[in-house]
Amino acid sequence: MSNEIILTEVALRDGSHAISHQYTVEQVRSIVQSLNDAMIPYIEVSHGDGLGGSSLQYGLSKVDEMKLIEAAVSVSNFSKIAVLLIPGIGTIEDLKEAKKLGAKMARVATHVTEADISKQHIETAKELGMEAVGFLMMSHMAPVETLVEQAKLMENYGADIVYVVDSAGALLPHEVKERIRALRQTLEVDIGFHGHNNLSVAMGNTLAAIEEGATRIDGSVRCLGAGAGNTQTEVLVAVLDKMGISTGVDLYKLMDMAEEIVAPILPKPQEINRDSLTLGYAGVYSSFLLHANRAAKRFSVDSRDILIELGRQKIVGGQEDMIIDVAAGLANK
């Protein structure tokens, strides 16, 4: 277990899902300035589905994400700005534009069995002089051996870090441990972990990952993220401090900005309700929650039935159009 953990704050990307991608330039500038003052190493800024995600299928952004990235860079003299890119949604040109605006890290995200589609994007990030991260989403959906194979591909493409991503909040601590341990025994690069709290184990999973050697950890201030949110950054910093693990983050400043700046933005407190619990139980992508709720109202069906069926069909990120098909099918039964 490392005595130093490097944090990435994801409220301005994953949290975009929770507010229907309605961040303004002023909100981004205020949040980034406060995170920068609190000495957060990395801050991810993108549409919830990454660069190029603003669309009818994934949800339209209130403000073009490049303007948000530019605003973030303008007020960060310590924190590095990161962007997420899902091949097939974001493009190489999107990545180049983000780099020109000052983004320093590219997190290239694929489904856990599709690392091969990340090659061009990881290689381009490295050519642009960016830190490159391989982000293996829905990591609960593959056997450990497959996860290792896919992670190795990303490492071979040039990734500086490879993440186990619990997109559905479906993993339990022992499952996180075996995945991180397997990667640590196989890869030379740093290992990261990104958790969701749909089963109320985001913190436990994160600590399990750290115990097994993960050194790059994601958190979200005030749990602002898809589903029931992510590992809560300010709580994580406090817990790690009690464990004698350094993050370099100013806890008081982080607590203050969570309370005074982020909390008022939340449409409602992040909590585990019946729908977000169902996400973790069914193993469904956390960003599907708002889409499923809208479809449930439109077709007068139970959102939980939609999510359970999506899980049964093993629907993954990028297949948001299937939510309507499932809801329509349930309504016709």
Pairing of strands 161-165, 42-44: unpaired
For residue range 92-104, list pLDDT tens digits in order.
999 999 999 999 9
Buried b or exposed e, range 257-288, using 16+ CB within 10 angstroms: bbeebbeebeeeebebeebbbbbbbbbbbbbb
Distance CA 161, CA 333 (A): 46
What pLDDT does residue 56 have? 83
Q: Which residues contact 65 (CB under 8 A, 6 or more apart)?
A: 45, 46, 47, 51, 53, 54
Three-state secondary structure readout of 310-326 = HHHCCCCCCCCHHHHHH
For residue range 179-216, list pLDDT tens digits in order.
999 999 999 999 999 999 999 999 999 999 999 999 99
Domains, the chain, ranges and CATH? 6-265 (3.20.20.70), 287-331 (1.10.8.60)
Distance CA 18, CA 25 (A): 17
What pLDDT does residue 3 have? 84
Closest to 131 (Cα-Cα) out of 182, 95, 77: 95
Tokens representing 294? Answer: 């809208």
What pLDDT does residue 92 have? 97
Q: What is the pLDDT along the chain (333 residues), one digit of tens a residue?
A: 778 999 999 999 999 999 999 999 999 999 999 999 999 999 999 999 999 999 988 889 999 999 999 999 999 999 999 999 999 999 999 999 999 999 999 999 999 999 999 999 999 999 999 999 999 999 999 999 999 999 999 999 999 999 999 999 999 999 999 999 999 999 999 999 999 999 999 999 999 999 999 999 999 999 999 999 999 999 999 999 999 999 999 999 999 999 999 999 998 889 999 999 999 999 998 888 888 889 999 999 999 999 999 999 988 877 788 899 999 999 987
- Let me know: does 193 contact 164? Beta carbons within 8 Å: yes
Sign of CA dihedral 314, 82, 91, 164: negative
Q: Residues within the annotated binding site for Mn(2+)? A: 14, 194, 196
The reply to whether 121 belongs to the active site is: no
What pLDDT does residue 297 have? 93
Quote the distance between the C-alpha of residue 63 and its chain's center.
Answer: 20
Q: Residues within the annotated binding site for substrate? A: 13-14, 167, 194, 285
**What does the radius of gyration of the chain's CA atoms come to, in whole angstroms?**
18
Q: What dihedral angle (degrees, nearest 10) is formed by the CA atoms of 131, 18, 172, 10?
A: 20
- The one-letter amino acid code at 291 reads H
- Mean of pLDDT over the chain: 95
Quote the distance between the C-alpha of residue 322 and its chain's center.
Answer: 21
What pLDDT does residue 332 have? 87
